[in-house]
């Protein structure tokens, strides 16, 4: 299993399970048919920057650190300055084109940064379809993205 896929699975496990020890990751992954060592999990925890937070059951559990709006803003600005190709709007929908390989990251950051006005996003390799809550929100997003041209 590729590291990227394992990290995605670890993220899902964190949402579904109360994982308190590295060994818990190993056990849950083995239940899914994925052989992994505790050393690999240790590296994954470091790379994913997982933190321990108080658990409902007492003790502490692993969690993904919350990104602040400032974090996503800086990341989105950097990504779009490097990868922005074009943007267009039709009613509540905005299509953002990027250099191939950048749309998934852009989609994720857009959803986090503009969560109050974005209903949903869909992406492929080089495009993000953003469905805004209102036409006014869509126009706002289009104008925001034009800044990166």
Q: Looking at residue 72, what is its pLDDT? A: 86
Domains held by the chain: number: 2
Distance of CA 113 to the CA centre of its chain: 11
CATH number of the domain within which 105 lies: 3.30.1360.40
Task: Looking at the structure, tell me whether residues 82 and 136 fall in a common domain.
Answer: yes
Sequence-separated contacts (24+) of 55-64 with Cβ below 8 Å: 55/18, 55/20, 56/18, 57/18, 59/20, 60/20, 61/18, 61/19, 61/20, 62/14, 62/19, 62/20, 62/25, 63/14, 64/11, 64/14
Task: Looking at the structure, tell me whether residues 59 and 73 fall in a common domain.
Answer: no
In whole angstroms, give the CA distance from residue 29 to residue 99. Answer: 34
Task: Looking at the structure, tell me whether residues 73 and 143 fall in a common domain.
Answer: yes
Task: Looking at the structure, tell me whether residues 123 and 143 fall in a common domain.
Answer: yes
Domain stops at, among 12, 44, 63: 63
Task: Looking at the structure, tell me whether residues 81 and 131 fall in a common domain.
Answer: yes
CATH number of the domain within which 27 lies: 1.10.10.10
In whole angstroms, give the CA distance from residue 30 to residue 60. Answer: 22
Task: Looking at the structure, tell me whether residues 100 and 81 fall in a common domain.
Answer: yes
* Single pTM value for the model: 0.58
CB 14 within 8 A of CB 53: no
Helices (H), 51-134: 69-83, 103-113
pLDDT profile of the chain (149 residues), mean per 10: 88 90 94 93 92 88 77 90 95 97 94 94 96 97 90
Task: Looking at the structure, tell me whether residues 37 and 101 fall in a common domain.
Answer: no
Range of the domain at 30: 3-63
């Amino acid at each position: 299993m590729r590291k990227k896929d394992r990290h995605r699975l670890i993220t899902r496990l964190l949402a579904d399970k109360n994982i308190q020890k590295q060994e818990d990751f190993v056990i849950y992954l083995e239940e899914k048919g994925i052989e992994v060592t505790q050393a690999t999990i240790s590296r994954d925890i470091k790379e994913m920057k997982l933190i321990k937070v108080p658990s409902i059951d007492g003790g502490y559990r692993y969690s993904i650190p919350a990104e602040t709006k400032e974090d996503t803003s800086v990341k989105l600005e950097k990504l779009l300055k490097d990868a922005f190709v074009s943007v267009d709007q039709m009613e509540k929908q905005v299509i953002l084109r990027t250099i191939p390989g950048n749309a998934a990251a852009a989609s994720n950051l857009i959803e986090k940064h503009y969560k109050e006005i974005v209903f949903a996003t869909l992406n492929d390799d080089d495009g993000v379809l953003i469905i805004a809550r209102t036409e006014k929100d869509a126009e706002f997003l289009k104008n925001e993205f034009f800044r990166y041209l």
